[in-house]
Amino acid sequence: MKKLLVAALFTIGWGLVGAAPAVAAESQTPFCGLMTGTPVLNCTYTEALQGQVTVNLFNVNPCSGVVGTATMVTNSIVHVNVNGAGDVWITETATSHFTFVPNSPGPPSYHGEFTFWFGESLNNQNTVVTDIGNIVLNGSDGSQITFHVVLHFSISASGIVNKFQIVSATCP
């Protein structure tokens, strides 16, 4: 189960961040220059992705080990803000419609929703990063697979590190 869930977190939380053309409120600079290491001050950038389709023919049901085809149709929106002092805020929300169909007849198929939120705040003294995810998949046999995660990491101005994760999963 960890491989599927980790792949989902990275695919949705990170993989979509650099995928589409820019639409900016104050700047046409993608991601306010953060990807190049030279942030554009007083910049706001928003990017929306709709209908991104991901198909994996050899995905594995984390609860049963059954191999099947997983399909996700994802919509997401990313916001980046950099103020005049160079402080940075980044958020992304992504939702996906998900289906899993076994490659051989017999085992149940699953359909459901993924929803993930990522947020980061940075300034010259503090860093805060948080990921929140929720997956609920309903089986054709009435079963349900769920996964919930909260990941948090922060560094205070005095250098104190705070990190934690809360993860829960259920299998039929």
Name the phi and psi angles at 98, rounded to 5.
Answer: -130, 140
- pLDDT averaged over 10-residue windows placed end to end, the chain, 172 residues: 33 36 55 88 92 87 94 94 94 95 95 96 94 97 97 96 96 92
pLDDT at 52: 81
How many angstroms separate the CA atoms of 88 and 121, rounded? Answer: 6
pLDDT at 38: 86
CA 10 to chain centre: 6
Nearest to 32 by CA among 85, 88, 96, 77: 88
Q: What is the DSSP string of the chain?
A: -HHHHHHHHHIIIIITTTSS--EESS--SGGGGTTTT-PPTTEEEEEEEEEEEEEEEEEE-TTT--EEEEEEEEEEEEEEEE-TT--EEEEEEEEEEEEEEESSSSSPPEEEEEEEEEEEEE-SS-EEEEEEEEEEEEETTS-EEEEEEEEEEEE-TT--EEEEEEEEEE--
pLDDT at 54: 86
pLDDT at 55: 86
